[in-house]
């Protein structure tokens, strides 16, 4: 049940329903922080990305970035598409550790709410 709620919220919050829900104050911590300790570990982030892929791809093994809503593109920040403009599930998930490290601005090995939410912002 938590996964279903997380997917629905991830889609609505990160990828927008009529605008940037993150900019409107939606906190992704409630979905990514599985143990609710106020920080997201790399393992929690990997699960969060897996859930995000499931929502975005709707079961496909690859998505074409150009076909995504502008808000959904935020989930692909720092991930280079192939020559056809697509990102596969394997490439998306493999990018997780690097994205986590880039988001961990204070270098403590976990993500705060600000770090997590900042990592999900679409490119301007």
Q: Name the domain count of the chain.
A: 1
Residue 124 lies in a domain: no
- Contact (Cβ atoms closer than 8 angstroms) between residue 93 and residue 68: no
Residues 29-76: tens digit of each pLDDT? 988 999 999 999 999 999 999 999 999 999 999 999 999 987 788 889
Strand ranges in the chain using DSSP code E only, listed in sequence order: 62-64, 86-88
For residue 74, give its domain range. Answer: 2-119
Residue 123 is encoded by which pair of tokens?
Answer: 């490119």
Residue 86 lies in a domain: yes
pLDDT band at 1 (very low <50, low <70, confident <90, very high): very low
Residue 84 lies in a domain: yes
Residues 72-116: tens digit of each pLDDT? 888 898 899 999 999 999 999 999 999 999 999 999 999 999 999
Residue 91 lies in a domain: yes
C-alpha span between 63 and 73 (Å, rounded): 11
pLDDT band at 123 (very low <50, low <70, confident <90, very high): low
């Amino acid at each position: 049940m938590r996964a279903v709620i997380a997917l629905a919220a991830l889609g609505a919050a990160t990828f927008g329903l009529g605008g940037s829900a993150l900019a409107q104050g939606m906190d992704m911590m409630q979905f990514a922080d599985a143990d609710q300790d106020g920080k997201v570990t790399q393992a929690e982030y990997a699960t969060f990305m897996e859930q995000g892929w499931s929502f975005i791809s709707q079961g496909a093994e690859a998505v074409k970035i150009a076909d995504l809503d502008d808000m959904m593109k935020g989930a692909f920040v720092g991930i280079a598409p192939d020559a056809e403009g697509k990102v596969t599930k394997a490439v998306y998930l493999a990018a997780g550790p690097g994205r986590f490290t880039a988001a961990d601005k204070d270098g403590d090995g976990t993500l705060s709410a600000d770090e997590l939410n900042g990592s999900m912002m679409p490119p301007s």
